[in-house]
Structure 1
Amino acid sequence: MATGTNITLTDGANAGDGLVVFVFTQNTPTVTSVTPNSGPVAGGDLVTITGTDLTGSTVDFGGVPATGVTCTATSCTVSTPAHAAGTVDVRVTTPGGTSPVTAADQYTYLPPPAADIDVNLTAQPHLGILVPYLTYTLTAHNTGPSAVTSATLTATLPAGATATGLSAGCTVASTTVTCTYGPIANATSVNKTFQVPLHLLSLGHVTVTGTRTASAPADPNPANDTASATCTVISILLATCP
């Protein structure tokens, strides 16, 4: 009933017309749960907020307005806005006020997954008159925090060198060995090996460099994406690899 509406009261001798003013007070809304209570920093997650007196609410996540807000008296469905990583309070506002901050209204923005691959390369000589060679082990060690879903490491050989005896998932083209790696759990490693045959032209220093060229999720630390191993070949019967 709108303010200022005339009504007629019938009560015996007091019957007649009069003006009655109704004052409506809307309760302050409350938030009792947020489901799900975590999601990506990019936003866009569909979230259901439950509580009381939510009709006509606007909703914000840490002060950033949500979009696609649809509310009933006891629940709101919203799309989360983008926000920096961390935990924020989800608050609803109506003409009755803004919901108080409680532990039940918290939502955590999760940083995007990242997996740091630490590249390691070692060498071991296998000498003899017939088929002398150096064996290289190219290691992808996942230092986390997330699991690696895929990775590609390459090894650059000296000019004129080639590779044989490659592990599954490795190929060679000219002086480049390319190895692909499947899933690597946090704090674990996967090794790939290949051999570099020696000949008289190999005398001297033989340096091979391994490099991470691609991986998923993103690698946050490029400082450990490269490793080298150098062997000193004195003859096909004598070589040292530190």
Structure 2
Amino acid sequence: MTGNGFTGATAVDFGTTPAASYTVNNDGSITATAPPGTGTVDVTVTTPAGTSATGPADQYAYTPDATRLDAEAALFSLAPGDLDVTLDLKATLSDVVTHQPTAGQSITFTVDRHTVCTATTDTHGAAECHGLAALVDVLLDGHYTATFTGTPALAGTTATAPLSQL
């Protein structure tokens, strides 16, 4: 950050959260590490003279972490006269930045733009669901799509995987 009067700074805050760390480089410059957060926040510096005013020039915008979604191939079987197919679908979501699975996130599974089912990721980042899909969609499309729409802290992503007949 650049400005003036930073000598003797006692705090740097991102919104209401203290910076993870900061260094006063000189009277006109501070280097600060943002704490975890989401959205856009005002950054303030507290010195013996007081706390800096807020305005558009002091705002910090957090960017969501990139995510990775891995969808597993799904097998299905057919019997004469079937018009719908039961699919067992699975995908795993992880945070690319932290390399950790992401629990409690909603994953939607579709075949040819039709939602088959929706599931929530478990502690390992895995989401599994079972649902019916039209046989014609399964045979013509040949794959399904898993979609995570994202959150303020995690970027959305999609993955596809093949649908194969037993």
Give the TM-score, by structure 1 length.
Answer: 0.37
CA root-mean-square deviation: 3.0
**Equivalent position to 1:111, from 22, 41, 64:** 64
Q: Which runs of 5+ in 1 are unaligned?
A: 1-48, 115-148, 162-201, 232-242
Change (3 A) 1:82 1:214: closer
**Equivalent position to 1:157, from 72, 76, 84:** 76
Change (3 A) 1:103 1:224: same
Q: Is the 8 A contact 1:209 1:229 kept in 2?
A: no
Map 1:74-223; keep pairs closer than 5 Å: 74-83=28-37, 85-113=38-66, 151-158=70-77, 202-205=79-82, 207=85, 209=87, 211-214=89-92, 220-223=105-108
Q: For 2:73 and 2:93, how far apart are their aligned partners in 1?
A: 12
3-state DSSP of counterpart to 2:62: strand
Residue 177 of structure 1 corresponds to which residue in structure 2?
A: none
Q: Are positions 1:229 and 2:134 aligned together?
A: yes
**Bigger radius of gyration:** 1
Residue 60 of structure 1 corresponds to which residue in structure 2?
A: 13
Change (3 A) 1:100 1:215: closer
Change (3 A) 1:203 1:222: same
3-state DSSP of counterpart to 2:35: coil
Q: Which runs of 4+ in 1 moved over 4 A?
A: 215-220
3-state DSSP of counterpart to 1:104: helix
Aligned-pair CA distance for 1:216: 5.7
Q: For 2:35 and 2:86, how far apart are their aligned partners in 1?
A: 48
Change (3 A) 1:69 1:215: closer
Aligned-pair CA distance for 1:150: 5.5
Percentage of identical aligned residues:
33
State the structure with bigger RCO (CA 8 A, min sep 6), 1 or 2: 2
3-state DSSP of counterpart to 1:224: strand
Q: Which runs of 5+ in 2 are unaligned?
A: 96-101, 111-115, 117-131, 137-166
3-state DSSP of counterpart to 1:50: coil
3-state DSSP of counterpart to 2:3: strand
